[in-house]
Structure 1
Amino acid sequence: MTRRIIHIDESPIRFERWHRRLPNWLKRFLPSGGGSYEDHHGKGMFGFTVFLLSESLIFLSFIFTYVALRLTHSRDWLPPGVSGPELSNFVIINTVVLLSSSFVIQPAENALRSGKLNKFRWLWLMTIAMGTYFLIGQIIEWSKLDFKLSTGLVGSTFYVLTGFHGLHVLTGVILQIIMLVRSFIRGNYNKGHFGASTTTLFWHFVDIVWVFLFSLLYLWRA
């Protein structure tokens, strides 16, 4: 019989009372106490949350740099003959598709936790399709823009911001494909669904970041 090992919380600050007041959806990202040795999911989710916080710092540095450049070069932000990124119906539809995917992937994860594997697969596949649609739409938009990466500040900042975000979307789609393939391995998710949970969290992060980028790049007009 395997002995259950408990890690004792030796932190000088006790957060138990504060932790109890949090909603259930947030508690799984902020484990309290020492926890059990076998609680790989809770420790892993906390570690992945810290990783996403570090990723958010990178995006924040890009965003603050963009804002500073816009404010200090407001008069010559757009070179002659360049209109900049336009808020077209195409961009709006692409954005709606990406943000809507968060409302698809979360029920997919919930279905997996409830043991509804087929429902998980269909919703997960739909999220993959929506993410792929966004990536293809972004490539099409890039091909139609009247400026390139080398076109002053407007070009370098736009392509760096959207390109770095697009790289995260691509990573999310690849992770989703891996999780979908693993769902066809018999018994793969019987012992837990850490991979699907972290992929879902990563996808929510990608969508939230796009809200800020979309507001800066398309809604902030000179």
Structure 2
Amino acid sequence: MNRGVIHIDESPIPLERWRQYLPRWLKRYLPVRGGRSHDHHGKAIFGFTVFLLSESIVFLSFIFTYVGLRLTHSETWLPVGVSGPKLSTFVIINTVVLLSSSFVIQPAENSLKHHQLNKFRWLWLLTICMGTYFLISQGIEWSNLDFGLRTGLVGSTFYVLTGFHGLHVLAGVILQITMLVRSFRQGNYDKGHFGVSATTLFWHFVDVIWVFLFSLLYLWQA
């Protein structure tokens, strides 16, 4: 295949004309029409963005279910003797650590773009540690709660929401570890770093979802 081949944009809608007016941060998530055959990074990121949108629909279905059940069972939401999840300093610190990791992983990706490999590795490793801290802290929180998965609606909804999100955090950490290991392969990222970009985007997604879950599960209780 000739990588110098030009793909002509034959779309009847002038997407590229509209695309030039968008901010740079948004352009990275949209497909590039036309261009050279090897300009695949933008198209791949767009495909991954569509995947995350499908994941967001699953989370939204859980969130709307939680809200509906909470509103229709407000009087019996907490069984007798159950206090439910509490907004504690421990939970706040855990949340701050997770959300702050987005401000670490993005500079890590930017460092890789500028071929600052060692800086990328250290920032990437710090993100891994922050994600791992969140998972361990969430496990500690679960062990100290006064309700379980079968404790009425409060138990089933809380553990399903936080557990499903926790699986995504775990997946993000595993992806980060994979990208870090690959950085030690000679010249691995010389021709592109889609894996790092996709992992960074996935991590931002995980953080945004936690903002909604934190507001529903803890702030609504406060």
TM-score by length of 1: 0.97
CA RMSD of aligned residues (A): 1.3
Long gaps (5+) in structure 1: none
Name the structure 2 match of 1:57. Answer: 57
Task: Give 1:5-154 correspondences, 5 Å limit.
Answer: 5-154=5-154
**SS of corresponding position for 1:135:** helix
Measured after TM superposition, the shift of residue 159 of structure 1 is 0.2
Measured after TM superposition, the shift of residue 39 of structure 1 is 1.5
In structure 2, distance between residues paired with 1:6 and 1:57: 36
In structure 2, distance between residues paired with 1:103 and 1:206: 13
In structure 2, distance between residues paired with 1:16 and 1:10: 11
Contact map agreement 2:16 2:32 (CA 8 A) in 1? yes
Contact map agreement 2:3 2:37 (CA 8 A) in 1? no
Give the residue type in structure 2 aligned to 1:221: Q
Contact map agreement 2:32 2:43 (CA 8 A) in 1? no
Name the structure 2 match of 1:195. Answer: 195
Number of residues of Structure 1 aligned to a counterpart in Structure 2:
222
Matched, 1:206 2:206: yes
Name the structure 1 match of 2:157. Answer: 157
In structure 1, distance between residues paired with 2:112 and 2:91: 32
Measured after TM superposition, the shift of residue 17 of structure 1 is 2.6
In structure 2, distance between residues paired with 1:119 and 1:190: 16
- Greater mean deviation of Cα atoms: 170-179 or 15-24: 15-24
- Greater mean deviation of Cα atoms: 12-21 or 86-95: 12-21
Among all aligned residue pairs of Structure 1 and Structure 2, give the percentage whose two residues are the same amino acid: 79
In structure 1, distance between residues paired with 2:40 and 2:34: 12
Query: After TM superposition, what 4+ stretches of structure 1 lie above 3 angstroms from structure 2?
Result: none
Deviations 1:30-51 (A, max 9, x none): 0232332211211111100110
In structure 2, distance between residues paired with 1:183 and 1:77: 49
- Greater mean deviation of Cα atoms: 1-10 or 50-59: 1-10
In structure 2, distance between residues paired with 1:221 and 1:148: 17
Do the aligned partners of residues 63 and 183 (structure 1) sit closer, same or farther apart at CA in structure 2, a change above 3 Å counting?
same
Measured after TM superposition, the shift of residue 80 of structure 1 is 0.4
Contact map agreement 2:29 2:45 (CA 8 A) in 1? yes
